[in-house]
Amino acid sequence: MALKPEPITPFHSVQHALRVLETVTKYSGGVSEAQLARESGLPAGRLAHLLAMLHRERYVTRVGEDAYTAGPALALLTMGGDRDAALAARLQRALARLRDTVGAAVYLSGYVDGEVRITQYADGPGTPRVHEWVDFRTAAHASALGKCLLTQLDHDDRRDHFSRHRTARLTSRTITDEKTLLTRLAAQPASVPVLDLQEYAVGTVCAAVPVTAGKRVGCLALSLPLAHAHRLRQAADALNRHAAPMLLSLALQ
């Protein structure tokens, strides 16, 4: 199942957003959209899209007709206080909104100390999370989130992971050949969601996109029951589009 690459990846969206925020914070009394365009070098359409996202996420506040100042969310994540707790709460709210938007359970995960770790998730009665019948730490070769995390490592780190975690066959669709896995991981485009089509669990399909900030290797994933597999393409595209605000929160930590 091929997915059309997004022309702007979440990573590039965040790089552009950080450029805009850097300019906004230089002007305590507010900065016009025209000035932001001049200093950021972004096309008008792209800038308008970013400002709408930043305003919605409360990173900027609109003052007057077309001027912006730093918003409360930016101050919360960058100035003192318990930033870890503030970030966790903000990410959880974002995950809940994303769950409702894509109609699927969603997960935020990271590759921490050589292991796959789900750090936060949002599910619900109509969007149940996948049953972890095999520890995700040992199933990175089969799960969308695990494969997405592994794509962000270099070749040696991937081989190190497989040397510690056997590529066991979990379903008839699980790829267990290490050479094949390494080739596919190396060829995975960053702009295309990684898929799991019943490789981890029979009856479940998943998708994941990278959300890497600095040295942190992370990803955002979703899972759907097989009966909803026809929605995977649309849900994966939505996941990719909505990854930028979450990545921006992590980048500002």
Closest CA to 240 of 110, 73, 102: 102
Buried b (16+ CB within 10 A) or exposed e, 199-211: bbbeebbbbbbbb
Q: How far apart are CA 232 and CA 239, in angstroms?
A: 10
Per CATH, the number for 84-238 is 3.30.450.40
* Domain 10-78, CATH number (from 1.20.1250.20, 3.40.50.1010, 1.10.10.10, 3.30.2020.30): 1.10.10.10
Q: How far apart are CA 131 and CA 59, in angstroms?
A: 36
Domain edges within the chain: 10-78, 84-238
Strand partners of residue 118: 109
pLDDT, position 8: 47
Per-residue confidence of the chain (253 residues) as pLDDT tens digits? 333 333 445 666 777 888 888 889 889 889 999 999 999 888 888 898 889 888 888 888 999 888 999 888 877 776 655 777 878 888 898 899 999 999 999 999 999 999 999 999 999 999 999 999 999 999 999 999 999 999 999 999 999 999 999 999 999 999 999 999 999 999 998 878 999 999 999 999 999 998 876 677 889 999 999 999 999 999 998 888 887 777 787 777 6
Strand partners of residue 61: 69
Q: How far apart are CA 45 and CA 117, in angstroms?
A: 37
Closest CA to 209 of 89, 137, 108: 108
Query: Whole-model pTM?
Result: 0.79
Q: How far apart are CA 61 and CA 12, in angstroms?
A: 22
Q: How far apart are CA 174 and CA 64, in angstroms?
A: 56
pLDDT, position 200: 98
pLDDT, position 214: 65
Strand partners of residue 110: 117, 218
The reply to whether 84-238 shares the fold of 10-78 is no
| Contact status, residue 147 vs residue 139, Cβ threshold 8 Å | no
pLDDT, position 5: 38
DSSP state of 162: H
